Amino acid sequence: MVFRLFAGLLIPLWIALAPAAHAVELIMVERAGCHYCIQWKDEIGPIYPRTEAGAYAPLRMISISEAPPDGVDFVRPVLFTPTFVLVDDGRELSRIEGYPGEDFFWGLLEMMLTEHTDFAQPAKTN
C-alpha cells in the first residue's frame, strides 16, 4: 500500500522533471581510408562529445556505402566524405560537405545549429 502511494507520487514527478528529449543528431558519413575523415577523427573526434554542440547534437557515424539509418531521410544523396548531416526527428536540416579544418568546422557547425535548431551558441570568452 505504501509502495503504491510512493510510486504513484514519484512517477508523475519524475516525468515532469525529466529533461525534454530532442532528436537532433549529427550524422557523419565517411568512407574507409578517407584522409579528411581520418583528420576529422584525429582533430575533432575526441573532443566533440565534450562540447556544447556535441551534447546537443550527438554524433553518429555511418559509411557512405550504407543507406541512411532507419527513420532518417536525407534531402539528397551523399557524394563526398566526410559529409556531416544535421538531422532532427529523422529529417535533414542542413549539412557540411567535406572537412574544412578544425577552425572552420566549429564555426560552420555552430552556424548550422543556431540557424536550424534552438541551440544557443556558447558565449565567447576573451
Tell me the mean pLDDT per 10 residues along the chain, length 126.
Answer: 45 41 87 97 97 96 94 95 97 97 96 93 59
3-class DSSP state for residue 90?
Answer: coil
Within-domain flag for 37: yes
Within-domain flag for 68: yes
| pLDDT number for residue 9 | 44
Say how many CA atoms lie within 13 Å of 91 toward its Cβ. Answer: 5
Give the domain range for residue 58: 21-116
The CATH number covering residue 44 comes to: 3.40.30.10
| pLDDT number for residue 13 | 40
AA letter at 118: D
- d(C-alpha 17, C-alpha 117), whole Å: 22
H helix intervals, 18-123: 35-43, 52-56, 102-116
